[in-house]
């Protein structure tokens, strides 16, 4: 897209001093999680995102103009184009991220979109600032001109209509330079490559930049949305009626919807001049999501695309492709030398805004059980009694007593995302007159989404 510009206390019996109420436990959890907050994540070129999100960067070496996330037979994480190159891909799932070339040069390539299924081709479509739309098959060979001229000129953003839309199958394409008011249009290109004007230039105060549809079930409804060079987000009905949704978005160019999940039911807008990404709620309220993009002086970039699972936001940021990802919740079993019984398990993941459930297996000899919450974090393991202590003993862990089943309410606070703690299960048993402590495996937790 082109821009305008304590020690555990083991003993021989269940001691009452080891017990803590649920309220005390929750208070500790909140205090501990807050104390270990790691702040904002940063990565070159100094992109700052909210707590709970990470940023990975891949340096392409030239400015990136358009980006789209892989889906279906398009197996790579993200595909991108450059103004004077072709279509390439990058896989952030590899370490370090790796890239490859899909096509040869496509002059002035500006935007990318997959066939949503309405054409039945599975092709990738590439818009060009020369007023041409190309089609690319999944192998990367057979790049052909799909549509040229007609209602296309200086083409930028594009999206394939969803199958539920009231229009016949089409690509929606924005047209127009960003250097003058009322100079752009939105066109439709049908499956035969024939273009027609959908929204004329008179409807815009400046040229439209990018277009996208909300996902099914979104609170944004089913209409088309467009950004406009000149700080606006617009809503466009199937009849072509245009209304404003949000303004003050700087050089609004990139546009991508997401749904329920870590990024929320929201639309994200890339600001090429302000080097920002905005989060916009269904009611039009906007908040700043990210800063520090590096869109170049030539004006290409700030395009956005969400992964199919909507866990990662890919960003065209100058010479970089960025992957902004939410930190997922996890509960990983850890057991040192494997001498402790693996009887401490999680029933679900520690997701913010939910209740995390864990349990310790009991037997007829069980007197009581405990979960040790260790603010000091994990310990590689040191022998104690007939097992291993797998959490740090300083600061002193908090022992929460229960009948074998435990629940912990996790507040719905984004600041908790990504915070980590170590826990260990403890079971007290009696065999005849003898009572003893049995150390169990550890569960290492990461709060997430």
- CB count in 10 Å sphere of residue 182: 14
Distance of CA 174 to CAs 159, 198, 201, 207, 341, Å? Answer: 9, 10, 11, 8, 62
What SS3 state is found at 31? Answer: helix
Higher pLDDT, residue 439 or 84: 439
Pairwise CA distance, residues 369 & 402, whole Å: 6
Average pLDDT rounded to a whole number, residues 74-92: 92
The pLDDT of residue 306 is 96
- The structural domains of the chain, with segments of one domain joined by +, span 16-38+329-446, 53-326
Q: With CA atoms as reference, report the closest residue to 347 among 334, 332, 358, 360.
A: 358
Q: With CA atoms as reference, report the closest residue to 306 among 273, 350, 269.
A: 269
CATH code linked to domain 53-326: 2.130.10.10
Pairwise CA distance, residues 397 & 385, whole Å: 18
Whether 163 has a pLDDT exceeding 90, the answer reads no
Higher pLDDT, residue 410 or 30: 410
Higher pLDDT, residue 28 or 116: 116
Q: What angle do CA 205, 252, 237 make, to 5 degrees?
A: 60
Map tokens 């990210």 to a residue.
Answer: 290
* Cβ atoms of 174 and 218 closer than 8 Å: no
Whether 30 has a pLDDT exceeding 60, the answer reads no
pLDDT, tens digit (0-9, with 9 covering 90-100), for 108-135: 999 999 998 888 888 999 999 999 999 9
The pLDDT of residue 429 is 95
Tokens representing residue 105 in the block: 């040069």
Residues 6+ apart with CB under 8 A from 433: none
Distance of CA 232 to CAs 11, 158, 209, 284, Å? Answer: 66, 17, 10, 11
pTM (two decimals)? 0.77
Q: With CA atoms as reference, report the closest residue to 289 among 329, 244, 256, 320.
A: 256
Beta-strand relationship, 232-236 and 387-391: unpaired
The pLDDT of residue 294 is 87
The pLDDT of residue 327 is 85
Tokens representing residue 244 in the block: 């404003």
Whether 160 has a pLDDT exceeding 90, the answer reads yes
Compute the residue count for the chain.
449
The pLDDT of residue 44 is 52
Tokens representing residue 391 in the block: 């959490």
Identity of the highest mean pLDDT range in 78-87, 103-112, 331-340: 331-340
* Cβ atoms of 121 and 139 closer than 8 Å: no
Q: Where are the beta strands (DSSP E) in 92-228?
A: 98-101, 109-114, 124-128, 132-136, 144-148, 155-160, 171-175, 185-189, 195-199, 208-212, 224-228
Q: What's the sign of the alpha-carbon dihedral 127, 128, 132, 137?
A: negative
Please tell me whether the peptide bond between 2 and the residue prior to it is cis, using omega within 30 degrees of 0: no
- CB count in 10 Å sphere of residue 213: 21
How would residue 140 be classed by pLDDT, with cut points 50, 70 and 90? Answer: low
Pairwise CA distance, residues 177 & 28, whole Å: 57
Pairwise CA distance, residues 398 & 389, whole Å: 14
pLDDT, tens digit (0-9, with 9 covering 90-100), for 187-241: 999 999 999 999 999 888 888 999 999 998 899 999 999 999 878 999 999 999 9
The pLDDT of residue 134 is 96
The pLDDT of residue 139 is 74
Map tokens 């002035």 to a residue.
Answer: 108
> Percent of the chain scored above 70 by pLDDT?
87
Beta-strand relationship, 242-246 and 252-257: unpaired
The pLDDT of residue 419 is 85
Map tokens 């000091």 to a residue.
Answer: 376
Whether 8 has a pLDDT exceeding 50, the answer reads no
């Amino acid at each position: 897209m082109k821009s305008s510009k304590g020690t555990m206390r083991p003993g021989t019996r269940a001691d009452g001093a080891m017990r803590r109420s649920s309220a005390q436990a929750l208070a500790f959890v909140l205090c501990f999680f807050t104390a270990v907050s790691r702040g904002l994540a940063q990565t070159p070129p100094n992109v700052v995102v909210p707590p709970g999100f990470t940023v990975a960067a891949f340096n392409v070496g030239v400015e990136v103009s358009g980006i789209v996330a892989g889906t279906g037979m398009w197996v790579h994480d993200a595909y991108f184009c450059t103004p004077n190159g072709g279509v390439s891909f990058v896989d952030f799932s590899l370490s370090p991220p790796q890239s490859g070339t899909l096509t040869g040069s496509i002059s002035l390539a500006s935007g990318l979109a997959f066939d949503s299924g309405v054409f039945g081709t599975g092709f990738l479509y590439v818009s060009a600032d020369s007023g041409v739309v190309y089609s690319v098959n999944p192998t990367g060979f057979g790049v052909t001109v799909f549509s040229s001229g007609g209602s296309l000129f200086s083409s930028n953003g594009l999206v394939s209509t969803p199958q539920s839309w009231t229009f016949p199958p089409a690509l929606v394409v924005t047209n127009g330079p960003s250097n003058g008011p009322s100079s752009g249009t939105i066109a439709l290109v049908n499956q035969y490559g024939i273009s027609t004007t959908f929204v004329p230039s008179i409807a815009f105060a400046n040229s439209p930049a990018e277009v996208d549809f909300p996902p099914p079930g979104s609170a944004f409804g089913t209409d088309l949305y467009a950004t406009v060079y000149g700080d606006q987000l617009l809503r466009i009905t199937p009849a072509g009626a245009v209304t404003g949704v949000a303004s003050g978005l700087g050089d609004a160019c990139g546009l991508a919807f997401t749904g329920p999940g870590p990024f929320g039911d929201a639309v994200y807008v890339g600001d090429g001049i302000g080097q920002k990404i905005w989060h916009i709620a269904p009611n039009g309220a906007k908040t700043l999501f990210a800063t520090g993009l590096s869109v170049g002086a030539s004006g290409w970039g700030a395009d956005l695309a969400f992964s199919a699972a909507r866990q990662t936001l890919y960003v065209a940021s100058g010479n970089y492709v960025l992957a902004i990802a939410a930190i997922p919740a996890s509960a990983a079993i850890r057991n040192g030398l494997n001498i402790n019984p693996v009887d401490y398990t999680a029933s679900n993941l520690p997701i913010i805004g939910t209740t995390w459930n864990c349990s310790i297996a009991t037997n007829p000899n069980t007197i009581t059980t405990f979960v040790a919450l260790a603010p000091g974090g994990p310990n590689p393991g040191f022998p104690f009694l007939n097992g291993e202590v797998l959490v740090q003993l300083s600061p002193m862990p908090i022992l929460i007593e229960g009948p074998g089943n435990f629940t912990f309410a996790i507040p719905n606070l984004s600041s908790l995302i990504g915070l980590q703690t170590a826990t260990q299960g403890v079971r007290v048993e009696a065999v005849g007159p003898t009572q003893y402590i049995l150390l169990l495996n550890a569960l290492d937790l990461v709060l997430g989404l």
